[in-house]
Amino acid sequence: MTQELQILIEKARKMSPSEQFELIAALSQSLSHIPYPKSSAVADFEKSLTIEEIVQNQKTKPVTDIANLAADFWPDEESADDIITYIYQQRREDRLKD
């Protein structure tokens, strides 16, 4: 940051909130007419794959039977109520940590 810019920022901090707002509005208006080169993040986003391409690349198959999906992670000895109770308990504990 240049010294001149630091001086301007310090002067702006001494302004009233309404004057600061007017300054921001004037700068925003002024900047809205300037064409900016795209950042690398924007360029990367625009080059990114579509959802269809991502799905195709993952080569996943659609779930046709929910029982098969649940068999992978749902313990046989636990009921749905047990799992819901566990989730609520974890959420309560997480809230208490904050």
Q: Residue 73 has what pLDDT? A: 67
Whether residue 50 is found in the same domain as residue 8: yes
In a shared domain, residues 8 and 54: yes
Identify the domain containing residue 77 by its residue range. 66-97
- The Cα–Cα gap between 98 and 96 comes to 5
CB 12 within 8 A of CB 23: yes
CA atoms within 13 A on the CB side of 80: 1
Same domain for 42 and 86, yes or no, is no
Token output for 69: 């999906």
Please name the amino acid found at residue 47.
K
Are residues 39 and 75 both part of a single domain?
Answer: no
Please tell me whether residues 83 and 50 are part of one structural domain. no
Q: What domain count does the chain have?
A: 2
**Which CA distances in Å does 52 have to 43, 48, 58, 60, 97?**
20, 12, 10, 12, 40
- pLDDT for the residue 98: 66
Which pTM value belongs to this model?
0.36
Q: Are residues 79 and 44 in the same domain?
A: no
Q: Residue 50 has what pLDDT? A: 85
pLDDT along the chain (98 residues), means of 10: 90 93 90 75 75 82 73 73 89 86
Based on the fold, state whether residues 7 and 41 are members of the same structural domain. Answer: yes
Claim to verify: residue 54 and residue 77 sit in the same structural domain: no
Q: Where are the alpha helices (DSSP H) in the chain?
A: 3-13, 17-31, 40-47, 51-58, 66-71, 80-97
DSSP helix/strand/coil, 15: coil
**Is the domain of 7 the same as that of 53?**
yes
Looking at the structure, tell me whether residues 9 and 54 fall in a common domain. Answer: yes
For position 69, what pLDDT does the model report?
A: 66
Q: How high is the pLDDT of residue 10?
A: 93
pLDDT of the residue at 12: 92
